[in-house]
């Protein structure tokens, strides 16, 4: 079994889901997609079934037999083993203790923000901030509804964290937009004075800050 199968980010999600109750892969897939937009985009049926097979081979999951609902085909139900529970706790402890530098698409794109030019950068950031505010408002409403319905706060703590990140990102974007509009954030090539001899940028670099 390739080690990378156990390094898949959805391993933790599957182990955590089965900590709650035994489940079959079809049910796991539906539940993970319902709980997370990231999982909805990243998890395919094949990926999940391969992950479950790898976890079973590693001894972290065990079959609990077959389940049939109505006229649907029989599905194998899996449960967390003691080894799986220990591995879940080990991974959770490590990931919570150790802040990793997580690379996002936005981080990669904002690295070259200057390539858009000032007006293009402002336009793109304004639209992103608007979409973030809309999504944040919807997420805040869903979280409030869950808490009002009696869902324990600890069961939706990840939603609180996601909202905190979204608010912080929005505030940062707003500050960058202000700096671009006031001219306090400019391309080095736009500086009126410089302590070193000017370098003539090539065509690809002339509109970028990197």
Percent of residues, the chain, with pLDDT higher than 70: 80
Q: Which residues contact 167 (CB under 8 A, 6 or more apart)?
A: 136
**pTM assigned to the model:** 0.73
Q: Name the residue among 129, 136, 142, 144 with its Cα closest to residue 162.
A: 136
Residue with tokens 């707003």: 174
Neighbour-count burial for 168-189, b at 16+ CB within 10 Å, e otherwise:
ebbeebeebbeebeeeebebeb
Per-residue pLDDT, 102: 83
For the chain, how many helices (H) and strands (E)? 8, 2
- pLDDT-derived band at 201, boundaries 50, 70, 90: very low
When pLDDT is averaged across residues 17-26 and rounded to a whole number, the result is: 92
Residue 4 has pLDDT above 80, yes or no: no
Q: Which residues contact 192 (CB under 8 A, 6 or more apart)?
A: none
Residue 99, judged by CB atoms within 10 A of its CB (0-12, 13-18, 19+), counts as exposed
Q: What is the mean pLDDT of the chain?
A: 85
Neighbour-count burial for 73-88, b at 16+ CB within 10 Å, e otherwise:
eeeebbebbeebeebb
Q: Name the residue among 106, 83, 92, 122 with its Cα closest to residue 168.
A: 106
Q: Which residues contact 92 (CB under 8 A, 6 or more apart)?
A: 12, 16
pLDDT per residue as tens digits for the range 161-175: 999 999 999 999 999
Residue 61 has pLDDT above 70, yes or no: yes
């Amino acid at each position: 079994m390739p080690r990378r199968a156990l390094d898949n980010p959805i391993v933790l999600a599957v182990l955590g889901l089965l900590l709650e109750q035994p489940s079959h892969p079809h049910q796991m897939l539906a539940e993970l997609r319902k709980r997370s937009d990231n999982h909805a985009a990243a998890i395919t049926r094949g990926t999940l079934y391969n992950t479950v097979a790898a976890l079973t081979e590693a001894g972290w999951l065990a079959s609990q037999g077959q389940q049939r609902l109505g006229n649907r085909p029989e599905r194998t139900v899996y449960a967390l083993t003691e080894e799986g529970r220990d591995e879940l706790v080990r991974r959770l402890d490590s990931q919570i203790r150790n802040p990793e530098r997580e690379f996002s698409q936005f981080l990669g794109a904002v690295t070259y923000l200057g390539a858009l030019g000032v007006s293009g950068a402002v336009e793109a950031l304004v639209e992103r901030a608007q979409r973030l505010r809309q999504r944040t408002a919807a997420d805040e409403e869903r979280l409030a509804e869950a808490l009002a319905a009696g869902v324990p706060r600890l069961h939706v703590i990840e939603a609180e964290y996601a909202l905190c990140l979204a608010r912080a990102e929005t505030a940062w974007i707003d500050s960058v937009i202000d700096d671009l509009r006031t001219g306090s954030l400019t391309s080095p090539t736009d500086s009126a004075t410089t302590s070193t001899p000017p370098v003539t940028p090539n065509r690809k670099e002339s509109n970028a800050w990197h």
